[in-house]
Amino acid sequence: MLFAWEEFKCGKSKKEDVQEFEFNLESNLFQLHYALKTKSYQPDKYQSFFVSDPKPRHIHKASVRDRVLHQAIYQILYPIFDRQFIFDSYSCRLQKGTHKAFNRLADFCRR
């Protein structure tokens, strides 16, 4: 769970909710572990807010605790599912992405 925390907080350490979670990090992670172990875990309510970048968007954000759990689940499931994808699947995959997909498409077009 600690590795999931480290991955999650990357680039977010100045956010207030992340700092609050980190202030009691050990206790928060043990509580999350206990809730999962006893099958009493319930996700928190999402925080709702608007941003403009450049058009207004309505955002729903999970709590830090839930996002750390999401990261832990991702770390377990990603290697399992990644092996199942075809080579030319580029979205949300490590060492892939939009630029590599475009380059692969351009290569197919040149052929």
Number of domains observed in the structure of the chain: 1
Q: What is the pLDDT of residues 25-52, one digit of tens each?
A: 999 999 999 999 999 999 999 999 999 9
Q: What distance in Å separates the CA atoms of residue 91 and residue 33, rounded to the nearest whole number?
A: 31
User: Mean pLDDT, to the nearest integer, of 60-74?
Assistant: 96
**What pLDDT is attached to residue 38?**
98
Q: What is the pLDDT of residues 11-26, one digit of tens each?
A: 999 999 999 999 999 9
User: Mean pLDDT, to the nearest integer, of 72-101?
Assistant: 90
Asked whether residue 2 carries a pLDDT value surpassing 90, the answer given is: no
Q: Where in the sequence is the domain holding 94, given as residue range(s)?
A: 2-110
DSSP string, 52-100: ESSSEEEEEE--HHHHHHHHHHHHHHHHHHHTTS-TT--TT-TT--HHH
